[in-house]
Every structure is written in C-alpha cells, then in structure tokens.
C-alpha cells in the first residue's frame, strides 16, 4: 500500500459504514463519504483500505490526505492525475482521497481516472454543496454520496468502553459523538476546549475562507442564535430582526445565504415543515439543528433549561444515522416534532423531557392521535420508566430509543 506509514495502527470499527462500503467495492462509480470535519470519515477510509488489503489479492492502494503537508503539491486536477498515474499498476488500483474538495477541479480528474477503467475511486469531503454540484454536473450519475454522521449512542458506548446507564447517557447528551473524544478525559474544560477548536476550524476554513465572508462577527452571532433556538421555527426575517436588535444590520437574503453555508459545511441541518393533511412542503417555518450536539453545547453552553431542545436534536441525529429523511409535521394548528421517512416507511415522533403531568401527556400523545394512519408513532422522553401504549402510540425512554435500530 502506498503511504502505509500514514495509517493508524488501532482503529475502532464502525461496522455499519464498513458493511455498506464493501457492497460498492469494484463498482464503476466514484464513492464519496460526506460529513462534518472530525466526524470519522478518514477512519472509515482506513477500515476500507485495511479490508481491501486483506481480502483483495494484488491490490494497489494509493492514499492521498489533503490535510497533510506532504500532499500540498497536489493542488489541481492535473497534479492529481500526474500523481495517481505515477503509481498505477496492471493489477487492480484503488484510490483513496481525503478532503477531495481541497483540490481545484478535482471532479475533472476523477472523471478521467474513472473513464480509464483502471481505478476504484473513494473520496471524503466536508462540503456537501461543492461536492454535489461539481460531481453531479460532470460525473453524469456515476457517483454516489454516503453520509457519515457522528457516533450514535451505541457507538459512543463502544468507543468510551461504557455500559448503558443514566451516567453514560448524560455524558452523551453533554458531549456528543465526535469520535476523537474517546482519547480525552470527559470533563467540561477538556471536551469543550477541543470542541470549540473544531468549531473554529469549520467556521474559518469551511465557511469564512471558502466563501470569502468578511463579516465574521455576523456568522458567529448567527450560530449563537441557532444554538439558542435549536428546534424552533425560524425565518430569515426573524433572525435579521434579532440581529438588528443587537445593532447588526443584515438583510434577510444574506441570512439565508449564510445559513446555507453552515448547512453545506455539514455543521447545521435544515429540517423543512410538511403539511400532513395536504401532503405538501411549506417554504417557511423550517427548523435548524446541529450535526453534533456537543458542538452545540460548546457554543451555546450546556444549560438545564435547554434539555428539551437538546434531546430533540439527539433524537433527530439518531434517525439520520439510521438513514431516514426528516420533516417537522404540521396538522392544522398542531405540530408533530418529527416525521421520518425511508424506503416508503414512515415514523412519527414527539419528544419531551419528562411527561410530568396530564397536560404534557395530552399534548404529546394527543398531537400524534390526530394522525390517522398505521405507521409507528412514538413519544420519547427521559422518564425513568416506559409509560406503555395509548391507542397505538408507544412511549419509550430516550436511552432505550437510542439503542434501537430502525
């Protein structure tokens, strides 16, 4: 394997991603792992390279990591083709490129290499919009994007060598699922310092530098606003009006643009609203969540009064990990926290911190009772016990929910 010395010796396997990737080995398409920085994309490449080396005889593996200085001379598509061709062999060739968007015109090189029929190509990237537009435009359907998420709760337990319990769940809620945390002491000072460093890298490299943003304070204030309003319906005008109250004069159209930058960097998730009666998607009233709850807590602070929005974000991340698309549901004047869809399957979920009294019970269960279909419906909370079923609606404790596969 070319660049064998760059690969780590100890890798904690993320089985779901490896099994999914194995099914694409040898397929005549470019495979791209998309996800936020430090979410573990590189280690999935390492797993895959290790699998190919062990199971595919006479494999020639070439690995390029654009975050390492030794690859700084590969700056454009011509450099990439020249470098890769210099290692081409008659045996099966496998090309792995980390942070491929850092190479100017990379899509032209990938198309040429794919057309040669000599390379099985795998990449990672941290900018969803750049990759999807550039590759979709030039690869003509000969590429596939594989989303990579932060650790789910069961992976968090594996990485940190913990058993399921309330203390483990609280650590997950506070610190999130970035894989590198298993190398750190799980304390506020150490973890949040690390997470704020990741946030700065995303903010300045993937947003401010990439999009030539001059008003850095505005972007920081926008992120803080979303942290304070995680899971709330927002609009560009609402954000613009808030910022004006802080003496920051920004037009709504610019707010929309910067929110898109944050989503493209796989930092935020935009969840649209769906009318469950008219079966249409609203163009306003979307909600924003964080791709990692630890980063949200590092930015906005971990406050007990925010627990409901935090666990709502965690429920969303768990279902995204399981491959679902997400909407927030509107049923007349009532709101359904989440509608999840995958392969023509649908799941409705309400999220609450605690079912503390009959009023809360009626709100959470009552909203779901309005939806007259046979798809699964859940109320998820942090209550100590499961409250059972009510007319087909199942109450489930948060920790039990996070250990389920859907």
Q: Report the C-alpha gap between 246 and 138 in whole angstroms.
A: 44
Could you report the per-residue pLDDT of 326-380, keeping only the tens digit for each?
999 888 778 999 999 999 999 999 999 999 999 999 999 999 999 989 999 999 9
Q: Report the C-alpha gap between 61 and 63 in whole angstroms.
A: 7
Name 390's Cβ contacts closer than 8 Å, sequence gap at least 6.
365, 369
Residues 184 and 296 placed together within one structural domain of the fold: yes
Hey, CA dihedral for 43, 48, 49, 51, is it positive or negative?
Answer: positive
Q: Report the C-alpha gap between 205 and 348 in whole angstroms.
A: 37
Residues 397 and 319 placed together within one structural domain of the fold: yes
Residues 173 and 218 placed together within one structural domain of the fold: yes
Residues 108 and 255 placed together within one structural domain of the fold: no
Asked if 306 and 333 touch (Cβ cutoff 8 Å), the reply is: no
Averaged pLDDT score across all residues of the chain: 91
Q: How confident is the model over 246-268, as a mean pLDDT?
A: 89
Residues 190 and 72 placed together within one structural domain of the fold: no
How many Cα atoms occupy the beta-carbon half-sphere of 398 within 13 Å? 28
Asked whether the predicted pLDDT for residue 26 surpasses 90, the reply is yes
Residues 34 and 141 placed together within one structural domain of the fold: yes
Domain containing 162 equals: 153-402
Residues 111 and 183 placed together within one structural domain of the fold: no
Residue 164: phi and psi, rounded to 5, are -60, 125
Q: Report the C-alpha gap between 321 and 314 in whole angstroms.
A: 10
Q: How confident is the model over 135-144, as a mean pLDDT?
A: 71
Examine the fold and report which residue of 147, 175, 195 is the final residue of a domain before the chain moves on. 147
pTM of the model: 0.92
Asked if 294 and 302 touch (Cβ cutoff 8 Å), the reply is: no
Asked whether the predicted pLDDT for residue 277 surpasses 80, the reply is no
Asked if 348 and 379 touch (Cβ cutoff 8 Å), the reply is: no
3-class SS of residue 187: coil
Per the structure, the count of domains in the chain is 2
- Of the ranges 141-145, 212-216, 324-328, which is most confident? 324-328
Residues 121 and 158 placed together within one structural domain of the fold: no
Residue 7 has a pLDDT of 61
Instruction: Give 265's strand partners.
Output: none
Residue 65 has a pLDDT of 93
Which one, of 309, 289, 386, lies nearest residue 36 by Cα? 289
Residues 8 and 100 placed together within one structural domain of the fold: yes
Where residue 105 sits, what CATH number does that domain have? 3.40.50.300
Asked whether the predicted pLDDT for residue 134 surpasses 90, the reply is no
Residue 127 has a pLDDT of 80
Residues 119 and 182 placed together within one structural domain of the fold: no
Enclosing H/E stretch for 365: helix 358-369
Q: Report the C-alpha gap between 177 and 151 in whole angstroms.
A: 4
Residue 278 has a pLDDT of 55
Name the token pair of 306: 């925010």
DSSP 8-state assignment for residue 285: -
Q: Report the C-alpha gap between 36 and 263 in whole angstroms.
A: 10
Q: Report the C-alpha gap between 388 and 390 in whole angstroms.
A: 7
Alpha helix positions (H), 62-140: 77-85, 106-115, 128-139
Could you report the per-residue pLDDT of 87-99, keeping only the tens digit for each?
999 889 999 999 9
Examine the fold and report which residue of 147, 162, 196 is the final residue of a domain before the chain moves on. 147
- How buried is residue 381: exposed, middle or buried, by Cβ count under 10 Å (0-12/13-18/19+)? buried
Residues 231 and 360 placed together within one structural domain of the fold: yes
Q: Report the C-alpha gap between 402 and 392 in whole angstroms.
A: 20
Using only C-alpha atoms, the chain has a radius of gyration, in whole angstroms, of 22
Return the ∠ at Cα 184 (arms to 180 and 185), rounded to 5°: 150
Question: What b/e string do you get for 174-212 counting C-beta neighbours within 10 Å, with b at 16 or more?
Answer: bbbbbbebbeeeeeeeebbebbeebbeebbeebbbebee
Examine the fold and report which residue of 122, 147, 172 is the final residue of a domain before the chain moves on. 147
Local confidence band at 140 (pLDDT 50, 70, 90 cut-offs): low
- Of the ranges 40-44, 140-144, 277-281, which is most confident? 40-44
3-class SS of residue 24: coil
Lowest mean pLDDT among 45-49, 93-97, 112-116, 276-280: 276-280
Asked if 18 and 45 touch (Cβ cutoff 8 Å), the reply is: no
Name the token pair of 8: 């780590």
Residues 99 and 237 placed together within one structural domain of the fold: no
Could you report the per-residue pLDDT of 46-71, keeping only the tens digit for each?
999 999 999 998 899 999 999 899 99
């Amino acid at each position: 394997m070319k660049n064998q010395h760059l690969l780590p010796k100890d890798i904690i396997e993320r089985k779901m991603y490896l099994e999914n990737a194995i099914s694409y080995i040898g397929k005549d398409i470019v495979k791209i792992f998309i996800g936020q920085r430090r979410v573990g994309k590189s280690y999935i490449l390492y797993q895959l390279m290790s699998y190919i080396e062990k199971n595919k005889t006479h494999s020639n593996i070439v690995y390029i990591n654009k975050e390492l200085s030794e690859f700084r001379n590969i700056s454009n598509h011509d450099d990439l083709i020249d470098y890769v061709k210099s290692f081409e062999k008659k045996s099966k060739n496998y090309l792995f490129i980390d942070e491929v968007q850092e190479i100017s015109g990379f899509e032209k090189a990938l198309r040429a290499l794919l057309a040669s029929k000599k390379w099985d190509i795998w990449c990672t990237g941290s900018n969803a919009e750049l990759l999807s537009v550039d590759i979709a435009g030039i690869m003509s359907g000969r590429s596939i994007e594989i989303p990579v998420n932060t650790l789910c709760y069961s992976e968090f337990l594996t990485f940190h060598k913990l058993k399921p319990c309330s203390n483990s769940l609280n650590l997950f809620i506070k610190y999130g699922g970035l894989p590198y945390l298993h190398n750190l002491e799980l304390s506020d000072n150490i973890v949040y310092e690390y997470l704020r460093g990741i946030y700065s890298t995303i903010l300045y490299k993937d947003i401010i530098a990439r999009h030539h943003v001059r008003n850095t304070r505005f972007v920081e204030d926008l992120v803080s606003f979303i942290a304070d309003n995680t899971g709330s319906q927002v609009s560009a005008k609402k954000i613009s009006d808030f910022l004006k109250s802080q003496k920051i004069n920004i037009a709504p159209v610019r707010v929309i643009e910067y929110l898109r930058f944050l989503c493209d960097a796989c930092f935020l998730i935009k969840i649209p609203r769906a009318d469950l009666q008219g079966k249409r998607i609203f163009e306003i009233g979307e909600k924003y969540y964080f791709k990692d709850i630890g980063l949200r807590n590092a930015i906005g602070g971990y406050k007990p009064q925010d627990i409901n929005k935090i666990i709502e974000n965690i429920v969303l991340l768990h279902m995204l990990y399981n491959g679902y698309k997400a909407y927030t549901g509107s049923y007349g004047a009532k709101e359904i926290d989440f509608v999840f869809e995958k392969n023509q399957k649908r799941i409705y979920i309400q999220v609450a911190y605690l079912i503390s009294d009959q009023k809360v019970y009626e709100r959470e269960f009552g909203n779901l009772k309005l939806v007259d279909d046979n798809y699964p419906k859940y109320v998820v909370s942090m209550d100590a016990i499961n409250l059972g079923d009510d007319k087909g609606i199942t109450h489930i404790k948060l920790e039990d929910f996070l250990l389920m596969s859907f």
